[in-house]
Amino acid sequence: MDDTINTTAEAHEGSALPKRRDVHTTDTPATRPEVLPESVTKTPVEAKSPAQWAYERLILYIQQFEEQLDSEEEVAMGFAGGEAGVLRIEGMGYFDPDIITFYGQDLEGMKTQLIQHVSQLSVVLTAMPKEDEAEEPRRIGFRLVRELDEA
């Protein structure tokens, strides 16, 4: 709690905005407290489908995860609760009202796509060595945030 005094309208607006909080055991948290980007908050949560809302929040988590990676790593996703393995994330999308999809490659380089209902969403972000030693690591989270901002 802080000592800021808000009008009733400001307090009501603030209570309606999405919030996020993370607590960690280390001095350097994996995620930082932040004001969510306007691209995420300009449309009220009630006006978004469950798929769009999950998609936007996943983008922010992926981007912040990528901020922790070194130049030899890229983000990948493990499939929770299944034997499908790991997917190097190369794209992400949603299909209203309730489907999220991830595009990429598995560990053998085969094209892979995960299609998941938002009620079953369980994603494990993991670091894996970048694919090509000569290239810069691909940062899908930053590309996805840029696309949100342009939409």
7 falls within a domain: no
The answer as to whether 106 is a domain residue is yes
Q: Does any domain span residue 11?
A: no
Helix ranges restricted to H, the chain: 8-16, 38-41, 50-67, 140-150
Print burial letters for 9-24: b (CB count within 10 Å at least 16), e (below 16): eeeeeeeeeeeeeeee
Tell me, yes or no, whether 38 lies in a domain. Answer: no
Give the domain range for residue 123.
Answer: 44-150
3 is a domain residue: no
pLDDT tens for the chain, 151 residues long, are 456 665 654 444 444 556 666 665 666 555 455 667 888 888 888 899 999 999 998 988 888 888 888 888 989 988 766 666 888 899 999 999 999 999 988 888 889 888 899 998 888 888 988 877 667 887 887 788 787 778 7
The neighbour count for residue 5, using CB atoms within 10 Å, is 7
This model's pTM is above 0.85: no
Report yes or no on 130 lying in a domain. Answer: yes
The answer to the question of residue 49 being in a domain is yes
Number of domains in the chain: 1
The answer to whether position 1 is within a domain reads: no
